[in-house]
């Protein structure tokens, strides 16, 4: 059985609990993806690095939720952390929205 891929919305949630996400992303044995609507890739990368977050890949310019959903399905993300939405994204992905 393969380890599921996880995704983290980089527009809100990761910086609300940086220690949790730094621990999770640095130890997760499956793929870890960051998704963002931001356009300044260098700033996003630097902020993640400064917070100790580790990603296999970061995707930016995902302005609409539909674009994020499409990327989640394309990458096979099974667990997604997003502060803005607790609603299901797809039948193959669980969304966690309130990490405190």
pTM over 0.85: no
Rounded to whole angstroms, the Cα distance separating 37 from 75 reads 17
Domains in the chain, CATH or no CATH each: 5-96 (3.40.50.1980)
Reading the chain (100 residues) residue by residue, the pLDDT tens digits are: 689 999 998 876 656 778 888 999 999 999 999 998 888 888 888 888 888 889 999 998 988 888 888 999 999 999 888 876 555 566 667 776 655 4
Rounded to whole angstroms, the Cα distance separating 63 from 18 reads 23
Rounded to whole angstroms, the Cα distance separating 85 from 50 reads 26
Contact between residue 82 and residue 17 where contact means Cβ atoms under 8 Å apart: no
> What pLDDT sits at residue 11?
74
């Amino acid at each position: 059985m393969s380890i599921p891929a996880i995704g983290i919305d980089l527009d809100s949630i990761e910086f609300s609990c940086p220690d949790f996400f730094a621990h999770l992303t640095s130890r997760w044995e499956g793929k870890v993806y960051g998704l963002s609507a931001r356009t300044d890739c260098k700033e996003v990368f630097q902020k993640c690095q400064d917070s100790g977050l580790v990603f296999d890949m970061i995707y930016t310019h995902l302005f609409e939720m539909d674009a994020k959903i499409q990327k989640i399905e394309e990458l096979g993300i099974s667990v997604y952390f997003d502060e803005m939405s607790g609603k299901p994204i797809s039948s193959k992905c669980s969304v966690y929205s309130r990490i405190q």
